[in-house]
Every structure is written in structure tokens, then in C-alpha cells.
Structure 1
Amino acid sequence: MSERPPISPRSPRAALEPEQVPPPPKRSERARNPFVIVGNAVITLVLISMIGVGAAYVYGKQMLEASGPLKEDKIVNIPARAGKGDIAETLQREGVIDVNRWLFIGGVFALKASTELKPGEYEFRKNASLRDVIGTIVEGKVVQHAVTIPEGLTSEQIVARLSENEIFTGAVREMPREGTLLPETYKFPRGTTREQVIQRMQQSQKRVLAEIWERRNTDIPVKTPEQLVALASIVEKETGKADERSRVAAVFVNRLRQKMKLQSDPTIIYGLVGGKGTLGRPIKRSEIMQPSPYNTYVVDGLPPGPIANPGRASLEATANPARTRDLFFVADGTGGHSFTETYDQHQKNVAKLRTQEKAIQNDTVEPPDDPAPAAAAAPSDSNPSASATKPAAPAKRTRSTTTPGGQGAAQSATTPPVVQR
């Protein structure tokens, strides 16, 4: 064993003094280099930033994916020229999102959609997340409103309907020509101009008319697509029953072939009121033979143009009418018509209808308590109205007016529909 060095004795005073500790080693010149100090600071900042970015990413993803506050589907209009902050306020006010505008803007930037937000009317789904909300606006799939234009309306009536519809903007600069608009159900986003609606209806009519014209029966006495539209408009106004259109068309086609006047009451009405479509009263007897380019009791063949805008079904029925020899039709008392080839049989159908009308009147009209004096004969220029086409005007007849909606079903002012053909 090695011997320990002897411990030198210390004086009492030396024992009370603190023991000397050796000084720390000096820092190396490298540690004191400013580049090292800056580098350490940068590394520290980078680490802190990475932790912050990671935390922000996790929070942002949760914010984007979290279910939204909507309790049910809702339609919200994003106005044109609205900024991201305005969009955020609109969505927050409508209850679509529950985050403030800055978080919404942050979400927009995170999804790289800052230049893709489009104005319009959008439908947001129940509990839509912020990601879903922003995605809906970016896709631009705005709500499409279904707009139905009934068959048989005039162009003036159609323009009036469009003017009353609040989803459209602007005005129609020029009244469309009669028969150039296709009645149908269309879908438009809010804010579509009325001129755009008219243009789309005209384009649809051209396309459908061209297709039907190519498939037409070439034996019909119609020389141009425009004449086809004119005849189809009369068919449209004469019947509202789908299964009768081709037979009504056949009656008029057969009359054209035999050089007979069409004698259609709706043409009288159009000659009197033009694009307004409805007369609002029965046709007067004096108006039956009143000169007018549209009065087919006076003019031979077709009128100079359509009297309404016919639908696809009437165009197809007119282009390919039923193969019959019918020349007459009269209302059958049930909303339809009875068709015949001869005037004698037609008169029998008229008499049958008169009997039905009289029975209905007897069942529905209560007699007065005291006998009333005999009614005076009606003036020769005012008579009940129902639709009629006939070879020669009988002494007594009932005339027609079309229904307010433009449908072809004729109606009498005081009796059920009567159509003499």
C-alpha cells in the first residue's frame, strides 16, 4: 500500500479560513465566436417555430374539419364584389360558421382559395365544416331555381311573368316574336338577366323545332317550320289534353287539305287582343266575321303567324298528326272532345252536349219563389262562348274563350265547354 502524505498541522486561525477553490477554466475562443452565438439563436428560433407551426397546423386542421353550427340546410346569398371579410361576416350572421373573420380568412389562405371565392346563392348543408363551406363557394355551384313557363302563353305574357320573378335582373329590351319561345321548365341561378332567359328560351325553341321538323310527316300541308309553329299554336290553344293533340291537329290538317277555313276561336281572340292573350269575356257574334288577318273564320288557311308559344308536345302532334279523316270536334262535357268526319254526326254530338248542359242547369239552378217574367232574347252580338270550327255559321252557336293561363281548354261563360267543328 502507498503511504498517504502526512497532513501538515494547521493553526487554529487557518482552520477557520475558507478553503481556496480553483478558478473555472476559461471559455474557449470558439465558444465566444459571434457566429456560434447567432447560430445557436437561429437553431433555437427554428425549433420554436417548428413547434408553433405544428401546433397551428393541428389547431387549423381541427378548425377546418370541425362540424359547423348549422342545424339544417340553409341557402345564403354571397353578394357580388364582397371581400373575404364581408363573406365571413355574412356567413357568421347567417349562422353558417361560428369562427371570427380572421380565422375564416386564415382558412381561406390555408386552402389556397383567396382568389377563388365566387359570389352567388349557395346551399350549405347541415353541420357543414369550414372546409365544406369554403369548398362550396370555391366550386361556384350556386342554387338553381326552377322556373316553369306554361304552354300556350303569348310572348307578352311570358315577358310579364319574367318581369314579376324576383330572381331575375334587368329588363327585356325587345318583345320576342310570337312563337319563338319554348315553354318548358328551366333552371336559373339568382341574378340571371331577363335577356339571358329570353335568349335561352329562343335557343331551345330553335333546337327543338329543327329536330321536330326533320321528323315531320312530309305529307302535311305545311311548307315551313314557321307555318308549323303557327298551326301548333292553334292546336295548343284548342285543347289541354295530351291524348287529343294529334287528333285536333288532324282536324286542322284535313281542313287545310280540303281548302276549308280553320274556324278556330282562339285566332279570333288573338286578332282582337294580340299578345295580351285573353279577351276576358265571351266572343261577340259581331266579332266572328270581323275582318282580321288572324281570324280564321275570315281568312283562308293559316294566320300570318303564331297566336301563342306552343310546347314541344303540340309541335310534335302537329308535325305528325293522327291519321284520321275528322273535320269536326265538339266538347263532350267531360273536358274532352268528340271528333267526327261528317257535319250531320257533328250536329248530333252538339245536340247531345246541349242536353247535358240543360240537365246540369236544371240540377244546379233553384227556381225562384215567384214566377219570373220571360227573359228577353240576347242581342245578336253577345252570346255564350265555347270553341268552334264549323263549315258554315249556324243561326245559333256557342263560342269559346281560352282559359286565363293560356291552355287550350275552352270554357263557356255560363255553360260547360262547347266546341263546334
Structure 2
Amino acid sequence: MWRAVASNALTLLIVFLFLGGGLILWGKRSYETTGPLEQAICVRVEPGSNMTKISRKLETDGAISNGTIFRLGADYSDKSDQLKAGSFLVPEGASMRDIVDILTRGGASTCGTEIVYRIGVTRSEFVLRELDPATNRYVEQAAYDPAGDEAPEAFAEPLSRADTRHRIALAEGVTSWQVVEGLKQVSVLTGDVVELPAEGTLAPHSYEVRSGDTRGSVIGRMAAEQDAILEEAWKNRVDGLPLASKEEALILASIIEKETGVPEERRQVASVFVNRLKQGMRLQTDPAVIYGITKGQGVLGRGLRQSELRRETPWNTYVIAGLPPTPIANPGRASIEAALNPAETDYVFFVADGSGGHAFAETLAEHNANVAKWRRIEAEQDNQ
């Protein structure tokens, strides 16, 4: 009898072990396999949250099939107490293991709300936008000009949240003065800029910042980025350029930046100025004259007067020979590369062509014909 009982007990133990092992394998497979999420979502983890709360939310959102397995998997991988506050993008089909990794790895938020501080040439704009997980594109919620407008109420709550991302975007061609004035308006930054950065030394780019970063540290990042861009472009420059140093390359690049907004024209514009420098011709570039008037502090807002074109300043390239003494703006990578690798042309003139671009010429006669054509276009536009 006891032998039968022992045999039955052993059989039951084997069955339980078999079932337990199967259950563990099923749980492991469920934890690691493709999840039920059909469309990417943004998961916000509040400060002080825990895996229990998150698992319930994920079940409600249809991101996981079993909250218990999700929590057990997090426990087993020693990640239950590693949740990071923020907003995180969870892609479609993400497994429970993937989601645990996304929510515990740390770093900046990957979705949710973002405030972009755009510092432009003619105006600045602060934009509140939200990532649409379905398209992985940001949708604008509100915007305003910090120079003259009050911040919309929509900005208040995101500015108070730790998981809101902040990004500073510098337009190509902004001056250092414009950058500093723009940074003064960014309320999440701290500290003062002690000294105006040298013109041309800040890279137009998009910079993610955190609340509490100093303005000085952001300026430092911009300067380091421009140094790296200029160094690389200088190493890859073509032979025979009439440029004695990286600083002269930066000056030329800034003029190219201000002369054209058409990306395809940059190397042609660069060729005009390089050819003029080689031939000893004056550069005769209006943006440099304007910089001599404004010193980069704002926009002139009108056309140049004849008296200003004749007045001698260090930046009046109608009067001085060669390059002006400093850059006239902060050029972007493409203009720096164009200055150091211009198109091979014989052009020494260019003028607006009425389409947003320019007409280029090798001779004064061709240039005069292009100018006459532009004058007719201007007159037609004025009469409309």
C-alpha cells in the first residue's frame, strides 16, 4: 500500500514539475515574444511611479497581454526598481522585455512634449509641439514671438514638467548678438553670457538642452560644434584657394551664407568671390556693408543708401580690398564647405534673377544685361 502511495506521489510530483516547467517556458515566451501593440504609443512615467501602475496602464493601452508576466519579468531581470521618469516611445509590436528596457534605460525622453526655441535671422519663435507616435512626427500646439508676445497659457504646464524636452534651433546666418539675445529669452536656462562670442564661431544647428543648463555651457557647445565643422572642412579644402587661414575661410563662408538662401547656389556664389579675390577685384557684397552699419545687432530693415555704399568702414567691400576683418554672421556647414570647395567657374558677377536665385555672369556686359532684366522684374512687381 505504501509503495502505491509513494508511486502516486512521485507521479504527481513529476506532473507538477512538468506543468511548472511548461508554465515557466510559456511565461518566458510571452515576455519575449512580439507584443499586441498595433500602433506606436507614448508612455509617460510619472516621478515616483512603479511597475504595478505602469503594467496596468500598459494593459489598458493594449501594449501588453499580461501585467503579471510583465512585472515578474521585470523582477527577474532586476529592473523593477529602475523605472525612469519621462515620456518614452514604445514601437508597435514591442515585446514586454523591450518595453521594460525602454522604460528603465534612462536618458532623455523620446516622445511627448517638446519646446523648440527657434532663433532666426529676422525673428525668433518659440514652438510647443507634441510627438504623434503613429507618424513619429511632431504636431505644433502653440507658438509665439518672445520679443513681443506673451507666452500662451499652453506653455505653462509643459514648462513645469520634468519630462518636457527643450531644443534650441539656430538658423543659418544668425549673428552672435542674435544668438545671445535669443538665449536670454529661454527661461529654462540659467546664468549670463559674460562675453559676446566672436562672430561666425557658433554653429547653426539644433541643440537639446535641459532645464538648469547654463547659457554659457550652451554657447560652449555651439562653439565646439563650429570648430569641428571648420576643422574638417579645412582639411578637405581644394588646392589654390586665396584663403590664408581657417579664419578667412569662415569670413568667406559667412558672406556666402548671407548672399544666397538657395542651397544649390552656394558653391557657385563661392566661386564668384574666390575668382574676385584671385583677380584682385573688390568683393562688393551688400551683406558685408550692412554688417558694418548694424554690427549684427538686428536687421537693417531697408535698402542701402548710396552714401552708405561710399562710406568707408572695415566691412564695406565696395571700398576695401579683399575680405572684411570678421565674419558677418554664423555660417552653416554647407556654406563653410562651399567656401573651401567652390564650383569651378569663371563667374565674377551675380544678381537676383527674380525666382529667388541668381543669374551669374563672366563679363560685365553679361552682368549688365542680367541687371537690366532684374530691374524690369522689380518694376513689374512694384506695379502689381
Q: What is the TM-score with the length of structure 2 in the denominator?
A: 0.63
Is 1:317 the counterpart of 2:342 in the alignment? no
Q: CA deviation at 1:57?
A: 6.6
Report 1:1-16 matches (<5 A): none
Q: Look up the SS of the partner of 2:201 in the other structure.
A: coil
Q: CA deviation at 1:234?
A: 0.2
Corresponding residue to 1:133 among 92, 99, 102: 99
Q: Which residue of 2 aligns with 1:143?
A: 110
Matched residue type, 1:134: V
Cα distance in 2 for partners of 1:309, 1:321 equals 19
Cα distance in 1 for partners of 2:262, 2:220 equals 29
Is 1:219 the counterpart of 2:240 in the alignment? yes
Q: Which has the higher contact order (CA 8 A, sep 6+)?
A: 1
Q: Deviations over 1:62-116 (max 9, x none)?
A: 996799897743324446x6464797499579958899x9998766433311454
Is 1:122 the counterpart of 2:88 in the alignment? yes
Is 1:343 the counterpart of 2:329 in the alignment? no
Q: Look up the SS of the partner of 2:343 in the other structure.
A: coil
Matched residue type, 1:299: I
Greater Cα shift, 288-297 or 309-318: 288-297
- Gap change, CA 1:247 and 1:98, over 3 Å in 2: closer
Q: Look up the SS of the partner of 2:296 in the other structure.
A: helix
Cα distance in 2 for partners of 1:274, 1:258 equals 28
Cα distance in 2 for partners of 1:160, 1:91 equals 43
Q: CA deviation at 1:56?
A: 10
- Gap change, CA 1:214 and 1:172, over 3 Å in 2: farther
Q: Look up the SS of the partner of 2:295 in the other structure.
A: helix
Q: Deviations over 1:247-274 (max 9, x none)?
A: 2222222332343332211112222333
Matched residue type, 2:362: E
- Gap change, CA 1:113 and 1:191, over 3 Å in 2: farther
Q: Which residue of 2 aligns with 1:170?
A: 189
Matched residue type, 1:73: A
Q: CA deviation at 1:304?
A: 1.9
Is 1:152 the counterpart of 2:173 in the alignment? yes
- Gap change, CA 1:115 and 1:163, over 3 Å in 2: farther
Is 1:112 the counterpart of 2:78 in the alignment? yes
* 2:51–2:80 contact (8 Å) kept in structure 1: no
Corresponding residue to 1:289 among 310, 314, 334: 310
Report how many residues are paired.
315
Cα distance in 2 for partners of 1:294, 1:90 equals 65
Q: Which residue of 2 aligns with 1:278?
A: 299
Matched residue type, 1:170: L
* 2:42–2:90 contact (8 Å) kept in structure 1: yes
- Gap change, CA 1:356 and 1:104, over 3 Å in 2: closer
- Gap change, CA 1:327 and 1:68, over 3 Å in 2: closer
Q: Which residue of 2 aligns with 1:398?
A: none
Q: Which residue of 2 aligns with 1:229?
A: 250
Report 1:370-381 matches (<5 A): none
Identity of aligned residues (%): 40
- Gap change, CA 1:273 and 1:70, over 3 Å in 2: farther
Cα distance in 2 for partners of 1:193, 1:86 equals 34
Is 1:254 the counterpart of 2:220 in the alignment? no
Cα distance in 2 for partners of 1:204, 1:220 equals 24
* 1:269–1:277 contact (8 Å) kept in structure 2: no
Cα distance in 2 for partners of 1:84, 1:65 equals 21
- Gap change, CA 1:93 and 1:224, over 3 Å in 2: farther
- Gap change, CA 1:154 and 1:126, over 3 Å in 2: same
* 1:121–1:189 contact (8 Å) kept in structure 2: no
Cα distance in 2 for partners of 1:94, 1:284 equals 68
Matched residue type, 1:305: T
Corresponding residue to 2:41 among 74, 85, 89: 74
Cα distance in 2 for partners of 1:92, 1:177 equals 51
Greater Cα shift, 278-287 or 120-129: 120-129
Q: Look up the SS of the partner of 1:247 in the other structure.
A: helix
Cα distance in 2 for partners of 1:299, 1:170 equals 41
Matched residue type, 1:358: A
* 2:42–2:89 contact (8 Å) kept in structure 1: yes
Q: CA RMSD in A?
A: 4.5
More strand by share: 2
Cα distance in 1 for partners of 2:302, 2:98 equals 57
Q: Look up the SS of the partner of 2:294 in the other structure.
A: helix
Cα distance in 2 for partners of 1:91, 1:165 equals 34
- Gap change, CA 1:90 and 1:211, over 3 Å in 2: farther
Matched residue type, 1:236: E
Q: Deviations over 1:303-360 (max 9, x none)?
A: 2211112122221221122333433222222322222333344223222322333345
Q: Look up the SS of the partner of 1:123 in the other structure.
A: strand
Is 1:352 the counterpart of 2:373 in the alignment? yes
- Gap change, CA 1:359 and 1:135, over 3 Å in 2: closer
Q: Which residue of 2 aligns with 1:21?
A: none
Cα distance in 1 for partners of 2:69, 2:231 equals 55
Q: CA deviation at 1:302?
A: 1.7
Q: Which residue of 1 aligns with 2:264?
A: 243
Higher-Rg structure is 1
Q: Deviations over 1:44-73 (max 9, x none)?
A: xxxxxx99x999979986996799897743
Q: Look up the SS of the partner of 1:305 in the other structure.
A: coil
Q: CA deviation at 1:237?
A: 0.7
Cα distance in 1 for partners of 2:181, 2:60 equals 33
- Gap change, CA 1:286 and 1:86, over 3 Å in 2: farther
